[in-house]
Amino acid sequence: MSFKLDKKQQVKEMLRCGKDPVYFLKTYARISHPMHGLILFDTYDFQDTLLKDFNDYRFNVILKARQLGISTITAGYIVWLMLFHRDKAILVMATKFATAGNLVKKVKNIMRNIPDWLKIATITVDNRTSFELSNGSSIKAASTSGDAGRSEALSLLVLDEAAHIEGLEELWTGLYPTLSTGGRCIALSTPNGVGNWFHKTCTDADADANNFNLTTLPWDVHPDRDAEWYKKETRNMSKRQIAQELECNFNTSGETVIDPECMEYLHATMREPKHRTGFDRNFWIWEDFDPTCNYLMVADVARGDGADYSTFQIIKLETLEVVGEYQGKPSLDMYAGMLNQIGREFGSAMLVVENNNVGYSVLTKLMEYEYPNVYHSIKSTHEYIEQHQAEAINSAVPGFTTSMKTRPLIIAKLEEFIRNKLITIYSSRTINEMKTFIWRNGRPQAMKGYHDDLIMALAIACWVRDTAIQSSARDLNYQKAFVNAIVTSKTTMNTQINGQHGYKKDNIFDKMSEADKLYKQYQWIIK
């Protein structure tokens, strides 16, 4: 349609545009194209549907592939909302201020390039990342690190690249009240792993378990993209990048420490516990104690501020199955008592307690209980040493120390065990922690607002199983072989062999007596 209209036609068009955002954008909005400059906003069918959803639904969450023009269509909707409605307060938030600012810039550019006669309201306040119209409507950009938006009533909140906003679950709790007067929300993003706010919001929306309308837009919704385009685009992309950028696949996207393919394997092994017991019913048991098996029990002690959990994992050493697990918030005394009792019930399992912070309090209690099999290590080297030997060594300390040196080692060992399918994990609690266990600033840790207490206990267990216990087993085999070699010296010697003439009989008995002494000395090894 030509922009040259008489007054009567202009009024008619204004009324039509005010009712229909799709018609407004397709007819009068112009956008900047990287190759063709300023062009008419010729929207695609999936973009038109999205515009209608923005208008029909109060809360929208868009799971999208990259480069579909979703940010641009969102900017177009904002222009329509601000231009044809009075006193609309709009906030665009993203992890980076520049990301939010780019969307505001798109809004401003569209606003400036509509026909002059259609500018019902004009820009009165104009800043780099915000502006205000003469009808009272305004927009501004903000990063999630600040306090913007938490104390003002919003007409529309836009969460750009929402899956990449750290701590959004907590942030949403603070922002939601600002929408209580009828405000709307648009959350859009490519996927970035599972367990975060965006993933939960999408999955809940899909199950009709929240008030969000879900729109999923994979790469092939664009009419100009075909198999040849996909092949060319993905030529130099990893599987994780393809999932995140093009396929809208949560399970294989993100920067989780545990590979997404391994997560699929873990999900297949997950099952409900046989027993839920303990004072808080948080001690889960998948297999009862087997007296023919050996067990390892590893405990992670909560800091004491109520923010995290005390946990432990029980592993059957022969099969590397996690047969028991606890996650709760007992007092330190109660927790020490639990470890003592449950450890003894599992055959006096080797008990490894993380000794950081308040962990020493638990270890002190266990020593008072005279628990017979507490893990000890050399303070400087973290080398395992048996409990009966530790009493004579000043540098020996009870428990396991998680430090800058040991943390990457135990996490790497856990990842190795899972990747090679050497360990069997049944617990949904542990597996759910792995979904939000990510690389943050080069360090493996829980996503902000989530926990990794079960993971850390399991990581220590894998490390101890593969280092201390394996080393101890090798030493045991060497010692057994040594004792056996001594015992075989009891065979009768042939004194008639040349070179043995004159050998005294009592010397034979002296050597046999010596062998018996050594055998008795090392008897504890082969019990």
* Distance in angstroms (rounded) separating the CA atoms of residues 416 and 419: 5
Q: How confident is the model at residue 498 (pLDDT cuts 50, 70, 90)?
A: very low
**When comparing pLDDT for 129 and 477, which is higher?**
129
Q: How confident is the model at residue 253 (pLDDT cuts 50, 70, 90)?
A: low
* Distance in angstroms (rounded) separating the CA atoms of residues 91 and 97: 12
242 CB-near residues (< 8 Å, 6+ apart): 234
- The residue ranges of every structural domain in the chain are 7-247, 260-470, 475-492+503-526
Q: Could you confirm whether domain 260-470 is CATH 3.30.420.240?
A: yes
Q: How confident is the model at residue 325 (pLDDT cuts 50, 70, 90)?
A: very high
Q: Angle 45-56/21-28 helices, nearest 10 degrees? A: 140
Per-residue pLDDT, 484? 57
Strand partners, 248: none
63 CB-near residues (< 8 Å, 6+ apart): 189, 190, 191, 202, 214, 215, 216, 217, 248
Per-residue pLDDT, averaged over 285-299, amounts to 96
Burial class (CB in 10 A: 0-12, 13-18, 19+), 50: buried
Q: Is the pLDDT of residue 290 over 80?
A: yes
- Per-chain mean pLDDT for the chain: 85
In CATH, the architecture of 7-247 is 3-Layer(aba) Sandwich (3.40)
Q: Is the pLDDT of residue 492 over 50?
A: no
Q: Is the pLDDT of residue 490 over 60?
A: no
Kindly give the pairing relationship between strand 59-64 and strand 213-217.
Answer: parallel
In terms of C-beta distances under 8 Å and separation of at least 24 residues, what long-range contacts does 179-182 make, across chains too?
179/154, 180/153, 181/153, 182/58, 182/155
Cα atoms found within 13 Å of the Cα of residue 157, Cβ hemisphere only: 30
Three-class secondary structure assignment of 384-413: EECHHHHCCCCCEEECECCCCCCHHHHHHH
Per-residue pLDDT, 3? 55
0.75 cut: is pTM over it? no
